[in-house]
Every structure is written in structure tokens, then in C-alpha cells.
Amino acid sequence: MAAYTKLNGFVENLAEKVFNLGSDTLTVALSNTAPGSEGTPPTGATSTCKLANVTQISYTNLSSRVLTVTSSAQSSGTYSLVTSDLVLTASGAVGPFRYVYVYDDTATNDELIGYYDYGSSISLASGETFTIDFGTELFTLA
Amino acid sequence: MDFSPAALRAHFKALTAKREKIDVHLDPLRAELDALVAGDTKLTVKKAKEREAVIREEIKNLQAKLFPIENERAAVARALGGKTGEPE
């Protein structure tokens, strides 16, 4: 499973009522450009932490990128956002991509939450799938 | 149980069809929620907030139905080594 990297702007956006993670449309975006190499890196100031600053691949031939949120709740003061794994299915050539971002498609500016770096570029051919494993939870807040 | 690749592919396809049946209800709700959050509505602020609360509950309920389907799709996709369909 690829490592999850929180984007710093997410924390401020969370505190300033940008998200409702339990029922907003959380979606993945695929990119082959390193976050730090973007024209305006989304890793910088909070105002940069949005989808417009990510160079996305073409999604032609790719199935739905929307996540299914299972639980958005706290236990003993620790909040967890749990989603099911996402199966992306290709009906033609897709990619290459290396970075998988999670963003909030309901939020006004499609603000980003975090990303996964898969270490090397991935391409899909027709009939192939790429399964994103979000582990026990997407993230926790304590 | 038949765990042949052909049977698993058929099962994956059936699960995807189940997902699509739920998406038919979920997608319009998500579109309406987007519009409400963007302020693109003729409703009063109070009515928009009331409607938003109703939509969010409906989305949560539908996502609860999707969860086991999505997890099973992921398991089947892994079992097939990512080859869930025949190349076109």
C-alpha cells in the first residue's frame, strides 16, 4: 500500500468549514507530475491546496473515481474517515500516472485532502483494474 | 464455489451492475448537493439548509449500501490480479 501524505492546506480548510467529509463527494485525481514540481505546488499555502493546481491525466476510458465513505466518526476523541477500497477499471489505455490525490468534489474549489505516491508510473490497458487500498482508514485526527 | 477466472470476472461484472443501480440514485443527489453548496438554488437559505440535511442523510444511507459491494469488487479485482475484463 502506498504511503499517504497529508497536504498542509487541508488542515486549515478543515478548521474553516470547507468540508463535510461524511457526505461530500470525495474523489480521486490521477497525476504523473510530482506535487512539488507542479507550476503552483499544492503543497504550499492553503490557497494552493486545490485541484486546479494538479496536472491530471485524461480520464477517458476510466470508471468512476468517486470514493464510498463508510464512516466519518470519532471514538474516544479520535476521528477516523473510513472509505472502501476503490477499483478503477480501464476500458482502453489509461495513464501513465504515479500520484493519486483525494479531493472534495463538493467543496467550492475542489480542495485537496492528501495524496499517495506509488513510487513509479502506472499504466492500464483495456480490461485491467487498479485497486486503491485505503487501509483501515483514510486518515485519523486526534 | 467456482473460483475460475471466468466465474470471478462474471461475479465482478454482476457486482458492478449492483453498484450502478445504486449510483442511479446517488449521482443526482450528489449533483443537487453540489448545487446547494455552491448556492446555485432558488430556495431560501433556510430551505436550502433543510434540503441539504435531507440529501446528506440519503447519501450516507446509499453509501452504506455501496460499501460491501465496493469491498467485494476490490477483493475480486485482487483475486484476478487486476485483469477483471477481457481486452476489447
- Give pLDDT tens digits for B52-84: 999 999 999 999 999 999 999 999 999 999 998
| Chain-chain contact of B74 with A84 (C-beta, under 8 angstroms) | yes
Query: What pLDDT sits at residue B86?
Result: 64
In this structure, the number of other CB atoms found within 10 A of the CB of residue A106 comes to 24
ipTM: 0.89
Amino acid identity of B59?
I
Considering chain B, what is the average pLDDT of its residues?
A: 92
Query: What pLDDT sits at residue A1?
Result: 72
Place of cell 493519486: A100
Taking Cα atoms as reference points, which of A140, A80, A110 lies closest to residue A18?
A110
For residue A35, pLDDT over 80 is answered with: yes
Place of cell 461475479: B11
For residue B87, pLDDT over 60 is answered with: no
Please give the Cα distance from B66 to B20 (Å, whole number). 10
b/e map of A19-47 (b: 16 or more CB within 10 Å)?
A: bebbbbbbbbbbbebebeebeebbbbebe
Sign of CA dihedral B39, B34, B50, A15: negative
Q: All 3 cell numbers of residue A86?
A: 476503490
Please indicate, yes or no, whether the overall pTM of this predicted structure exceeds 0.90: yes
Please give the Cα distance from A28 to A137 (Å, whole number). 15
Q: Which residues of B touch A87 (CB under 8 A)?
A: 70, 73-74, 77, 84
Taking Cα atoms as reference points, which of A134, A138, A104, A114 lies closest to residue A19?
A104
Taking Cα atoms as reference points, which of A67, A122, A55 lies closest to residue A93?
A122
| Chain-chain contact of B34 with A105 (C-beta, under 8 angstroms) | yes
Containing H/E element for A14? Answer: helix A8-15
- Give pLDDT tens digits for B10-38: 999 999 999 999 999 999 999 999 999 99
Min CA distance, A128 vs chain B (Å)? 5
B2 confidence band (pLDDT: 50, 70, 90): confident
In this structure, the number of other CB atoms found within 10 A of the CB of residue A109 comes to 14
CB pairs under 8 A between A and B: 81
Could you write out the DSSP letters of every residue in B3-71? -SHHHHHHHHHHHHHHHHHHHHHHHHHHHHHHHHHTT--SS-HHHHHHHHHHHHHHHHHHHHHHHHHHH
